[in-house]
Structure 1
Amino acid sequence: MSESPSATPSLTGRDAALADSVRLGLPSTIADLSNLVRIPSVSWAAFDPAHVARSAEAVAALAEATGVFDSVRIARATIGDTDELGQPAVLARRQARNGAPTILLYAHHDVQPPGKDEDWDTEPFEPTVRGERLYGRGAADDKAGVMAHIASIRALTDVIGTDFDLGIALFIEGEEEFGSRSFETFLSDNADELRADAIVVADSGNWDDVTPALTVSLRGNVTFRLTVRPLEHASHSGMFGGAVPDAMLVMIRLLSSLWNEDGSVAVSGLTSHEGETPEYSEEQLRSETGLVEGVDPIGSGSLLSRIWWQPSITVTGIDAPSVANASNTLIPEVSVRLSARIAPGQSASDAADALVAHVRANTPFGVVATIDDIDTGNPFLVNTSGPIVEATKRSMADAWGVEPVDLGVGGSIPFIASLVESFPDAEILVTGVEDPHSRAHSPNESLHLGVFHRAVLAETLLLARLSSPER
């Protein structure tokens, strides 16, 4: 397991003792993480919810075993105005003492579906160490985030005991990968237990496996199902092809209108954000994404501006006859799932309006497209001027031996905007245990164990420094 270049040897006093505790506790931390990975806690509706419930119980037991919380419970909330309950979350709290701050530690214990087993080099729910990486669904996103919080609390109490002033709230969500559908209600129902001076969201990444990052911007998202049905029924493609528009022709023409020739988004009303980006080469992009040699990147502007500051649109699914089941017919109906990422500075509702208007204006041959199952999440820009943000960056630098990078992320964590709205005075710290090769959401998802070690140490140092000055 790779170590930080210089951080651990340079730490002294209590910080050195904390570093030793993190290092010595790492085997049991990884064992506990592996046990969580073995639970297939996919929160999507088509999967067995009993696994998510079992995962919540396992996380609650880990939180209880730290011995620091006044209360630990599993909680659920209704989805919007319905009576349907969301997936179970773990909520724990320790009250602050003597005027000390309270920090809320967030992660999620649910995971993405594994996809096809044949696309994995290992069993998706059997954690496997290969080299410096732990493979398995949820090994990085985000059960490692859960264990980073647990391991940090363990190391803190190992060195300074349980008699400290810092307040700690722990919120481990159970449906982040399925859209956090009950999140708004959960915040409202549990506002007092969640209230904090700072919120650590351990669900992002780092610049690379030796350089930490604090995520300072996230794109928003708009997703929906798009359906075209130009025919009441299928017809023979030889008998009527050339005179009758089939659903695939309509959909292809409509989808092609979403992008310019260079692959950038062509939807009027979707905006971009202006901001500086670090140096990032095409070679690094290819290494991190698997872009095939000879295939050009799309879009314009710096590579990172395309990922951080500009909108993008991806077709993530399609319902149509498979190649194996293809027949010589004009297809009556085709549906696709569209996922649009929205640049910081634009509201998701405005972006959704722009996308719907574009579809209405560009559906060919008089066909009326149907749009449903819309889901939105606002983008986010972090205010990095607070004292706890500064303390976090110092802790990262000390743990890693390298100054952290301010990172933009092309992905979305929509609930962060909800946290800001509910707790406007709290400092938001978006951290993470991933690196560019973690392949979150993809087959062969993995956690770099050296990154995990340093991320746990950084959080441990932060908690200790907020708990009490070193004596």
Structure 2
Amino acid sequence: MTPDQIEGAVAAAMPQAVEDLKRLVAIPSVAFPGHPEEPVYAAATATEELLRSTGLHHVQQVAVEGSFPAVYGEAAGPPGAPTVLLYAHYDVQPAGDPTLWRTPPFQPTLIDGHLYGRGAADDKSGIISHVLALRSFRGQFPVGIKVLIEGQEEYAGHRLEDFVVQHPDLVRADAIVVADTGNPRVGDPSVTTSLRGMAAFTVEVRTLQESLHSGSFGGAAPDALAALIRMLAALHDDNGDCRVPGLPRGRFLGSGPSEDEFRKTAGVLDGVSLVGSGSVADRLWSSYAITVTGLDVPSVGGAINAVQPVARARVTVRVPPAGDPKTTLDAVASFLHQVAPWGVRVSIDDVSLGTGFLADSGGRARAALNRALERAFGRAPRDIGAGGSIPLVATLVKLFPAAEILLFGAEDDDAAIHAPNERLNIEELRRTATAEAIFLQELGAEV
């Protein structure tokens, strides 16, 4: 197929693709503990049906121990053609407070060329971009195709990674497309060449056998919540830089957003300063970042006059690409024990680790992708970093060191992923799917 033919095929398929995406977004496939499991399995079934519609010769759900099923598909390419693995995930983040959404999170709503709903961008857009690209070939693929759609990326541990290690031939490929990133701005084609790793854990503080009346005991009884607050506050200095020994600031060698651009994208309120030192790219993509993502304490609405005996917090540490998540976890946990006041009892559990990623200079597949992105977007792509983590990527790097791993997708920095009012720009989806299809054609044509 020519690039013109691919562009026409993707454009013609867009109305159906948008309807397919709406159907996926309407499924609340939150794979976090405590959420209903039925919608997650429903999303797996819907994903399986979508892959079958692309002309892949073989599609099935595969069991992943301790997790939800992955959806796998494959088709042989012409003799001697390379094999490309396409990855995305069908699970989504919890919606959070529904009152913060302008439209219901699981009622996909199309407004001014944007589809609103949880998972519309992260990462059901990745599924649909693969589906759109594959449909354009009508079952006659220019390369060998493998597709792996995960069911518990947002809260996964190492479940899929362990599965891949046990079944390497299932995902063995010459190039791997990970559709779980995006562009800094709509229409600004980018390839993510670095990912931070992650070390997440829950810290618990205990001080008393049970809660006590604050009027009778407050002022002498050690408050677990007050102790935990002091410990968490000690993680950063007054400038917002990490205070944990052994976690230095890093430097990103490529380009990144200006402070004004970042403030606008992040929605930082007027008069509120950014935190940390170095360029924004340094802080986002090459330095350690510690975030408290949850607290188990009485809510304001349910508050009682009591000294708390126990308090818990979920802490996530983003680790530079070259950093070691386990060493980072040990450093932060040790620091929290050191700064714990009053001899309180501190425990660390529910640990999750993910290794970062740093791409090499690129080879034949990256060159083909560059050409494809320039054709689809009308401008050459640039390299960017990402502050998030994709645990599977590091595993694939270890298993297949000769494979080129390419990270790009239909998301953008204004897509509000993991936040209320997540949305996807429909035109960005078309361009991304067009680029992916042209990339497959370009790579196959080099044989």
TM range (shorter): over 0.9
**Unaligned 5+ runs, structure 1:** 1-12, 79-84
Aligned to 1:39: 27
Contact 1:106 1:200 (C-alpha < 8 Å) held by counterparts: yes
| Deviation digits for residues 168-190 of structure 1 (CA, Å, limit 9, x no counterpart) | 00001111111254212320343
Question: Alignment RMSD, CA only?
Answer: 1.6
Q: Counterparts in 2 of 1:243-258, with a 5 A limit?
A: 243-258=220-235
1:282 Cα deviation from its structure 2 partner: 2.2
TM-score by length of 1: 0.92
Aligned to 2:36: 48
Aligned partners of 2:195 and 2:424: how far apart in 1?
22
Aligned partners of 1:275 and 1:45: how far apart in 2?
35
Contact 1:98 1:165 (C-alpha < 8 Å) held by counterparts: no
Contact 2:10 2:133 (C-alpha < 8 Å) held by counterparts: yes
Cα–Cα, structure 1 residues 208 and 171, in superposed 2: closer, same or farther, change >3 Å? same
Aligned partners of 2:216 and 2:142: how far apart in 1?
79
| Deviation digits for residues 274-298 of structure 1 (CA, Å, limit 9, x no counterpart) | 3324252222112111111110000
Cα–Cα, structure 1 residues 244 and 336, in superposed 2: closer, same or farther, change >3 Å? same
Contact 1:103 1:169 (C-alpha < 8 Å) held by counterparts: yes
1:236 Cα deviation from its structure 2 partner: 2.8
**Unaligned 5+ runs, structure 2:** none
Work out which of the residue numbers 242, 249, 253 in structure 2 matches 1:276.
253
Aligned to 2:173: 196
Cα–Cα, structure 1 residues 467 and 277, in superposed 2: closer, same or farther, change >3 Å? closer
Aligned to 1:206: 183
Work out which of the residue numbers 371, 388, 404 in structure 1 matches 2:381.
404
Structure 1 position 29 matched with structure 2 position 20: no
Aligned to 2:417: 440
Aligned to 1:106: 87
Aligned partners of 1:363 and 1:270: how far apart in 2?
19
Aligned partners of 2:260 and 2:195: how far apart in 1?
24
Aligned to 1:293: 270
Contact 1:156 1:464 (C-alpha < 8 Å) held by counterparts: no
Aligned partners of 2:161 and 2:255: how far apart in 1?
35
Structure 1 position 132 matched with structure 2 position 109: no
- Equivalent residues, number: 447
1:421 Cα deviation from its structure 2 partner: 1.3
Contact 1:73 1:91 (C-alpha < 8 Å) held by counterparts: yes
Contact 2:252 2:285 (C-alpha < 8 Å) held by counterparts: no
Contact 1:216 1:384 (C-alpha < 8 Å) held by counterparts: no
Q: Counterparts in 2 of 1:128-167, with a 5 A limit?
A: 128-157=109-138, 162-167=139-144
Aligned to 1:418: 395
1:154 Cα deviation from its structure 2 partner: 0.9
- Match of 1:90, SS? strand
Aligned partners of 1:215 and 1:319: how far apart in 2?
35
Work out which of the residue numbers 11, 14, 20 in structure 1 matches 2:8.
20
Aligned to 1:340: 317
1:165 Cα deviation from its structure 2 partner: 4.7
Contact 1:207 1:405 (C-alpha < 8 Å) held by counterparts: no
The percentage of counterpart residues that share the same residue type is 39
| Deviation digits for residues 98-128 of structure 1 (CA, Å, limit 9, x no counterpart) | 2110000000011111112211111111111
* Aligned AA (2:167): N
- Match of 1:345, SS? coil
Aligned to 1:115: 96
Aligned to 1:354: 331
| Deviation digits for residues 307-365 of structure 1 (CA, Å, limit 9, x no counterpart) | 11111111111111122222222111111111111112111111111111111211111
Aligned to 1:463: 440
